[in-house]
Amino acid sequence: MYEHLETAQNPANLKRVVVDPVSRVEGHGKVTLLLDENDKVQQARLHIVEFRGFEKFIQGRPYWELPVLVQRLCGICPVSHHLAAAKAIDQLVGVDPANLPPAADKLRRLLHFGQVLQSHALHFFHLSSPDLLFGFESDIGKRNIIAVLGDYPDIGLQGVKLRKYGQEVIRMVSGKRVHGTGAVAGGMNKALSKEERDYLLRDIEQIIAWADASVALIKKVHTANLPYYDDFATIRSNYLGLVKPNGALELYHGGIRAKNDKGETIVDHFDYCNYTDLIREEVRSWSYMKFPYLTSIGKADGWYRVGPLARVNNCDFIDTPLAEAARVDFKQHSPEVMVHSTLAFHWARLIELLHCAESINTLLHDPDVMSSDLIAKGEKRYEGIGVIEAPRGTLFHHYQVDENDIVTKANLIVSTTSNNMGMNESVRQVAAEYLSGRELTEPLLNNLEVAIRAYDPCLSCATHAVGKMPLQLELLDAQGDMIGRLVRHSDGSFEH
Amino acid sequence: MNKPILVFGYGNLSRGDDAVGPLLLIHLEQQANLNRVELLNDFQLQIEHALDLQERELVIFVDAAASGDSPFGFSKLTPCRDNSYTSHAMSPAALLQVFESVTGRRAPPGFLLSVKAKSFELGEGLSEPAEYNLRQASRFAEHILTLPTAEIVELARQNRHTACYG
């Protein structure tokens, strides 16, 4: 592995390169490289520069506000936070997942499939397809969705419409495009009307066809240059995620399964309410983001990856036919039991997108989604834990409340935190294998961003004010004097 | 059938001054004549919002601006293939360009009403300057929605014209 590049021996004597912020990820990230006099990489780190304040934001609020409130933590996956919080507050009103009315369970799943579908569509078509279709070191003017729309109009348009469809599922189920209030403690606050159900059914066959085509596209892109795609940013790791009781892929509710890099089971069907026995988080001085690890294995080797690659690796099968066929195909491409290629995140993500489209179709044909039996009740409890597979991976919400129903303690482990070590290792792999010893240019540095983007990190920042997104690169010599500078302004112009 | 005018305010209500876009919409909802106006809000601009621009006579985007000297700015947008592409900060000019790429038609006239903002911390309310700026911008927005499109274009020309605003 590449942990030796986490901290250089003599950092004061090295040149420093900063990629700040990493573009086309959600939020703000920064990569720093330290180079010796021969441009050999001696240290590489991904820093998360804005990732605090969740708990403070939540504490002191009444629990029933949480499903709406937590959506504002993130402008990209608000529904995931909404549902994880809803699962936690179900427990605060004494309702366990098994006791949720079937209609509520299915409506939440429908909402979640809509969210994952639109999130995966955005990531692939908008953020990653420019790299994958034009090349990692292509002209920066090419690396955007408009260029994709120009050169691959059908693919670009399908991306826009897939995303729109996912948003429409969210709107129909939760009543609003943003800040919806679909899930409430113990259930859901509305069912689908027949008109809403029929509206969503109208396009679902087309959505499935496009999702299927997107899997074929990523397979073609990946296998066309297999050695490169299987090596670039690739690291060996443990994998963690939820699975169904029968071992199938699960996104909404299940037990935790963790496997090691050889595919051997570490834990299986682990009750997530005991997650504090399973996972601990390490703090490192140079990053705001913690480093989670499996307690039983320890800090050094217990780190793990989550998200589409972990889920598709970990599950025994997928319970929708097209996605299952795609999963089998995906696994067969690798000589190993587990697929470790970081760029295979894209392939796994699109298999999940297809699974979401198929699952939406199944649920829309289920009469329960129009049932009015939506709420369950129970005895008040003082602690609730909700865990869900968000688009980027396993998301933990944990709350404690007092006798007045006010949140006194909150703990969130978001997916990107679980991938912190994985992203850092991938950055170091790329730095060591693809950048070290070469003169650094913007196209070359994009390789670092490609590695990070494969994880689809959500750095939880919906702030986007005009003029706040420059990208700045500085090259400093051993004395700390700047010897080169490149700035990309938010309007896209460059300044040397 | 879409209403001819779309006012699209975007930002996060729980991120301090980032809330000015959605808050301006709340003002319009209470104060403006919305017979011909649709209000839309979201956390940020995304590619699928291009489809919300269909069948519009004009579109006004409302966002927080970290730069600038005035309480607010009002400028005409030109569809632009810029490099501001991050999902995190897709520019309105780029969204107009996406509209043209997706539909093959010219984008409706687009304008950016940018409200000067200062602080974007999670859980914070509006800063004092942003509150003042929002009041000014809200009154301006209320006023321009009573004007014909040609006069709005002229207002934008007087204020600031940005060929390709990121």
Question: Left (φ > 0), alpha (ψ -120 to 50) or beta: where does A381 sit?
Answer: beta
Looking at the domain assignment, is residue A41 inside a domain? Answer: yes
Instruction: Give the CA distances from residue A11 to residues A36, A48, A288, A421, A477, in Å, rounded to whole numbers and listed in that order.
Output: 9, 20, 20, 21, 12
By Cβ distance, the residue of A153, A167, A492 closest to B48 is A167
Looking at the domain assignment, is residue B59 inside a domain? Answer: yes
* Cβ within 8 Å of B, A 38-67: 53-54, 56-57
Phi, psi of B91 (to 5 degrees): -85, 155
Looking at the domain assignment, is residue A390 inside a domain? Answer: no
Model confidence over A100-138: pLDDT tens digits?
Answer: 999 999 999 999 999 999 999 988 888 888 888 888 777
Looking at the domain assignment, is residue A40 inside a domain? Answer: yes
pLDDT at A466: 44
Model confidence over B37-94: pLDDT tens digits?
Answer: 999 998 888 888 999 999 999 999 999 998 888 999 999 999 987 655 544 457 899 8
Model confidence over A179-222: pLDDT tens digits?
Answer: 778 999 999 999 999 999 999 999 999 999 999 999 999 999 99
- Return the DSSP state at A411: E
pLDDT at A394: 96
d(CA A256, CA A240): 7
* Cβ within 8 Å of B, A 157-216: 157, 159-161, 163-164, 167, 177-179
Looking at the domain assignment, is residue B13 inside a domain? Answer: yes
pLDDT(A271) > 50: yes
Q: With 0-12 CB in 10 A as exposed, 13-18 as middle and 19+ as buried, what is A481?
A: exposed
Inter-chain residue contact A141 with B83, CB threshold 8 Å: yes
Inter-chain residue contact B65 with A157, CB threshold 8 Å: no
Could you tell me the CATH number of the domain that includes residue B157?
A: 3.40.50.1450
DSSP per-residue string spanning A338-357: S---TTHHHHHHHHHHHHHH
**Domain interval for residue B130:** 5-161
The C-alpha of B66 sits at a distance from chain A's nearest C-alpha, in angstroms, of: 6
The C-alpha of B22 sits at a distance from chain A's nearest C-alpha, in angstroms, of: 11
Average pLDDT over residues A324-335: 96
Looking at the domain assignment, is residue A267 inside a domain? Answer: no
Instruction: Give the CA distances from residue A31 to residues A22, A66, A109, A343, in Å, rounded to whole numbers and listed in that order.
Output: 7, 33, 36, 19
Residue of chain B with shortest Cα separation from A58? B123
Average pLDDT over residues A470-487: 52
Give the list of residues 6+ apart from residue B124 with CB closer than 8 angstroms, or none. Answer: B15, B16
Inter-chain residue contact A463 with B12, CB threshold 8 Å: yes
Instruction: Give the CA distances from residue B140 to residues B38, B72, B128, B135, B145, in Å, rounded to whole numbers and listed in that order.
Output: 17, 9, 19, 9, 9
Q: In percent, how much of chain A has pLDDT > 70?
A: 88
pLDDT at A441: 79
Looking at the domain assignment, is residue A424 inside a domain? Answer: yes
pLDDT at A487: 52
pLDDT(A478) > 80: no
Average pLDDT over residues A277-294: 87
Residue of chain B with shortest Cα separation from A156? B102
Which of the pair, A331 or A13, is modelled with greater confidence?
A331
How far apart, in Å, do the first and last CA atoms of chain A sit?
Answer: 35
Inter-chain residue contact B43 with A488, CB threshold 8 Å: no
d(CA A190, CA A372): 8
How many CB pairs below 8 Å do chains A and B form together?
157
Looking at the domain assignment, is residue B166 inside a domain? Answer: no
Of A130, A49, A234, A1, the closest CA to residue A446 belongs to A130
List the structure tokens of B23: 């808050």
Inter-chain residue contact A146 with B81, CB threshold 8 Å: yes
Average pLDDT over residues B151-162: 74
Looking at the domain assignment, is residue B75 inside a domain? Answer: yes
Instruction: Please name the amino acid found at residue A25.
Output: V
Check: CB of residue A249 under 8 Å from CB of residue A243: yes
Q: With 0-12 CB in 10 A as exposed, 13-18 as middle and 19+ as buried, what is B105?
A: exposed
* Number of Cβ within a 10 Å radius of residue A496: 6
Inter-chain residue contact B84 with A491, CB threshold 8 Å: yes
Angle between helices B92-103 and A153-174 (to 10 degrees): 110
d(CA A172, CA A164): 12
- Strands A187-188 and A238-243, sheet pairing: unpaired
ipTM value:
0.83
Looking at the domain assignment, is residue A407 inside a domain? Answer: no
Looking at the domain assignment, is residue A174 inside a domain? Answer: no
**Domain interval for residue A17:** 3-50+419-495
Model confidence over B3-21: pLDDT tens digits?
Answer: 999 999 999 888 889 999 9
pLDDT at A52: 53
A462 touches chain B (CB under 8 A): yes
3-state secondary structure of B108: coil
Most confident segment among A18-32, A282-296, A319-333: A319-333
d(CA A362, CA A364): 6
d(CA B5, CA B53): 9
- If one counts the domains in chain A, the total is 1
C-alpha count within 13 angstroms, C-beta hemisphere, residue A199? 13
Average pLDDT over residues A48-73: 81
A230: enclosing H helix or E strand: helix A226-231
By Cβ distance, the residue of A160, A488, A490 closest to B89 is A490
A273 touches chain B (CB under 8 A): no
Chain A CB contacts of B41 under 8 Å are: 178
Which of the pair, A23 or A251, is modelled with greater confidence?
A251
d(CA A424, CA A47): 9
Chain A CB contacts of B48 under 8 Å are: 118, 160-161, 163-164, 167
pLDDT at A95: 97
Model confidence over A61-93: pLDDT tens digits?
Answer: 999 999 988 888 777 788 999 999 999 999 999
- If one counts the domains in chain B, the total is 1
Best to test chain B binding among A48, A127, A163, A463 (most B CBs inside 10 Å):
A463
Give the list of residues 6+ apart from residue B18 with CB closer than 8 angstroms, or none. Answer: A462, A463, A464, A465, B11, B12, B64, B117, B120
d(CA B21, CA B27): 10
How far apart, in Å, do the first and last CA atoms of chain B sit?
Answer: 30
Chain A CB contacts of B166 under 8 Å are: 466-467, 489-492
Question: Left (φ > 0), alpha (ψ -120 to 50) or beta: where does A239 sit?
Answer: beta
**pTM for the complete prediction?**
0.89
Looking at the domain assignment, is residue B67 inside a domain? Answer: yes
Looking at the domain assignment, is residue A26 inside a domain? Answer: yes
pLDDT(A50) > 80: no
d(CA A224, CA A220): 6
Average pLDDT over residues A140-164: 85
Best to test chain B binding among A124, A466, A471 (most B CBs inside 10 Å):
A466
Report residue A486 CA to chain centroid gap. 29
Of A408, A439, A344, A474, the closest CA to residue A63 belongs to A408
* Number of Cβ within a 10 Å radius of residue B150: 9
Instruction: Give the CA distances from residue A156 to residues A149, A150, A153, A335, B108, in Å, rounded to whole numbers and listed in that order.
Output: 5, 8, 5, 32, 21
Q: How does residue A19 score in pLDDT terms, banded at 50, 70 and 90? A: low
Q: Look at the block and give the residue holding tokens 């670039």.
A: A232
Chain A CB contacts of B114 under 8 Å are: 466
A407 touches chain B (CB under 8 A): no
Inter-chain residue contact A57 with B14, CB threshold 8 Å: yes
d(CA A323, CA A356): 9
